[in-house]
Chain A
Amino acid sequence: MSDQQQEKLFNKKISRRQMLKYTGAGAVGIAIGASGLGSILNTFGMMALEDDMNATNKVLFHGRHQSGIATQTQSHVYFASLKVLVTSKNELQELFKMWTPLAVRLMNGESISQSDANGFVPPKDTGEARGLDASNLTLTFGVGPSLFEKPGLGLSGKKPKELKDLPHFPKDQLNPAYVGGDICIQACADDPQVAFHAVRNLIRAASGKVSLAWSQTGFNSFPVKNGVKQTPRNLFAFKDGSANPNSKNNQDMNNVVWIQPGESENWLTDGAYLIVRRIQMHLETWDRTALREQENVFGRHRDSGAPLRKLNEMDELEVNRLDEKGNPVIPVDSHSRLAREAGERIHRRAFSYASGVVDETGAYDAGLLFISFQKNPKQFITIQNRFGRSDKLNEYITHRGSGLFACFPGIQKGSYIGEALFSIL
């Protein structure tokens, strides 16, 4: 190649086809070497995108399970429930295929496009995360019962029998504006703008294919002790999630969270069920409740998080212990006691929310964006039914929103989100 030719090439736009010609064979291919070729092909979208191991504050996208479930809870969530507008299985499959490389990029802390040279069209990436690192962003995708009932999609035969709308629980006052959805995207990050940016760009890239049904932001703050994040407190100032399984213990997680072969439809193996509840907490009434009563409501000490009459958060809840007068130390209608008696475990990943003012009452619209993961919705239903009408906490909270989603297993390199759902078998 002459210098003149080289000059010309520099000033030209090179098509993918031309690129192949230059890189595909001969001296050129050898000259750039294996790693160089890889990065070029990557640029052209010809190789599956990979997790960038050098990215700062990064959680892996690829793996056996989806991120954002066993991942240590981040400080922020943007939870989005979507309606699908596509009407065929093929279009739905294409949607998840299209989202996959975008999700990898977002979780690498990258922009979804490298450059925006044409000033006559809007930038591909909305840009508000530019300069921010990956911030431990996780993206968790799930599908709701309503998706399987859409006639054109032909998915009814793949619907797990346990994937159905949650039953009505005592004292539920659900607002249709915060119920259900065909697809959910749970975006968690240690930076609220990173989480929002991710969902915003995924939805925008899917314009005409999905629309936003409802969404909710949430936050958590973690006291740090000896470099270790402690259990966060909810807006009632009590610790939330003390009884979780140990997310680093495979056995524990397999028992409680990850769907094992044969436990549900095959496409859900290594996945989990996500339950989301938008729970308004009546801060005004709580704040005029005496400390002792507050502690009786939870059955735990407020400051330490320890069960009543215990010192440490992780101490055993002594449900059989009686006090001097012969009454149970942990009140029979206390929240943590009822949860324990239900005999089921779930993996809680809750966030607080504060979203302005309730129109009718002028009260804070604030509370808990409860999110839990479990291998079967029954685990949650059993606990919630156990709370029933007797849970003392009911006086201070109202469930306003609800959703159940089956979260896909993790995505292997070269595969795409939800692939097993679309495979022929």
Chain B
Amino acid sequence: MKSKALIALILSGGVIMAACNADKDAAPANTDKTQPETVDLQTEMEAYQAFAMEQMDHFLIETEKFVIAVKNGDIDKAKEIYPKARMYFERSEPIAESFGDLDPRIDARLADLEEEGQGKEDWSGYHKIEYGLWVENTTVGYEETADQLLKDAKELRARVETVEVTPDLMITGAVDLLNEVSTSKITGEEEIYSHTDLYDFKANIEGAEKIVEILKEKIKLKDAKLVDTLTAKFTDLNNLLAKHEDGSGNYISYEQLTKEDTKALAEAVNQLGEPLSQIGIIME
């Protein structure tokens, strides 16, 4: 073999190597980087789909209770169910979001619609009833909205079975859940009437945590330390959230948080987000 070719060979080896994490020994040599979809995540994807369906089952059950309370004019009951029913939706948001039409019908804020040049007359779903409950202190006039919400929740449940869960949906979804928290929950924009943002906050985190739990063994194969870091950062954030919870799953109003509280939460979310964004190494 000629030495020139050898130099080229070695150098190209270096270039290939540089493309992966130079801090650790390379993964088994049979993982071809140009074909990442060959990584088998079938079990994990099935587990996630099962989780999403279970969440949607509960979401439907709780939404039905909520709708009955609204139609019975039971304001207190409706207010009690509202934040907890929504948590099932928020946990599996990566899935719900994949239905571009259903998601806004269930979860749109008035501000979202106004941004698109729409108004109150186009509004439906949970946040519209939230407005009735907390601002107008009534359920009167919201019966039709409640009926539609139940229909949409049923449709969502049915369609979740047809979702094709992909590795990308899970990997991107975990980070997206955190980004949801950083951009809308942390500012209190999600629940501007009920101020129950901490419930959504917690649910988004649990949704991300679930994805990590499902992928844990796969991540461990690539970087065991990353699993430890993620566990530690989830714990930090959950501990911070627990400070605002009464022990039985009820959170204080977002309005009661001080500027320092929200800053601490935001920082903990960012501290978690950075390692979380690395879980895609399982595709290497």
Q: Do A and B come from one complex?
A: yes
Contacts A44-B14, A114-B18, A120-B167; is A31 near B25 (CB within 8 Å)? no
**Does B235 reach chain A (CB closer than 8 Å)?**
no
When C-beta atoms are compared, the residue in chain A nearest to B23 turns out to be: A45
**Does A6 reach chain B (CB closer than 8 Å)?**
yes
Contacts A36-B10, A120-B283; is A211 near B19 (CB within 8 Å)? no
**Does A208 reach chain B (CB closer than 8 Å)?**
yes
Of the candidate stretches B59-67, B153-161, B244-252, B271-279, the one touching chain A is: B271-279
Q: Are A120 and B10 in contact (CB under 8 A)?
A: no
Contacts A45-B22, A118-B283; is A14 near B271 (CB within 8 Å)? no
Number of residues of chain B lying within 8 A (CB) of chain A: 45
> A172-207 toward B: CB 8 Å interface, digit per residue (1/0)?
000000000000000000000000000000001001
Q: Are A121 and B22 in contact (CB under 8 A)?
A: no
Which of A96-121 touch B at CB < 8 Å?
113-121
Which of B179-204 touch A at CB < 8 Å?
none
Q: Which of A6, A17, A116 has the most CB of B within 10 A?
A: A6
Residues of A within 8 A of B25 (CB): 15-17
> B263-284 toward A: CB 8 Å interface, digit per residue (1/0)?
0000100110011011111111
**Does A40 reach chain B (CB closer than 8 Å)?**
yes
Q: CA A44 – CA B17 in complex, angstroms?
A: 8
Residues of A within 8 A of B33 (CB): 13, 117-118
Contacts A6-B1, A15-B25, A15-B29; is A22 near B281 (CB within 8 Å)? no
Q: Are B171 and A9 in contact (CB under 8 A)?
A: no
**Does B240 reach chain A (CB closer than 8 Å)?**
no
Residues of B within 8 A of A122 (CB): 277-278
**Does A288 reach chain B (CB closer than 8 Å)?**
no
Q: CA A235 – CA B31 in complex, angstroms?
A: 58
Number of residues of chain A lying within 8 A (CB) of chain B: 40
Q: Are B274 and A43 in contact (CB under 8 A)?
A: no
CB of B51, distance to nearest CB on chain A (Å): 20
Contacts A43-B18, A45-B22, A208-B271; is A14 near B7 (CB within 8 Å)? no
Q: Are B27 and A6 in contact (CB under 8 A)?
A: no
CB of A367, distance to nearest CB on chain B (Å): 25
**Does A1 reach chain B (CB closer than 8 Å)?**
yes
CB of B250, distance to nearest CB on chain A (Å): 30
Contact of B17 among A43, A120, A204 (CB under 8 A): A43
**Does A23 reach chain B (CB closer than 8 Å)?**
yes
Q: CA A18 – CA B26 in complex, angstroms?
A: 9
Q: With contacts A32-B10, A115-B18 known, what are 18 further pairs, Cβ within 8 A?
A: A6-B9, A14-B17, A15-B26, A16-B22, A18-B26, A28-B10, A31-B6, A32-B3, A39-B14, A44-B22, A114-B15, A117-B20, A118-B36, A119-B280, A119-B283, A120-B167, A121-B279, A122-B277
The 11 sampled A-B contact pairs (Cβ below 8 Å) are A14-B13, A14-B29, A16-B22, A19-B13, A23-B10, A31-B3, A32-B7, A36-B7, A113-B18, A120-B283, A211-B271
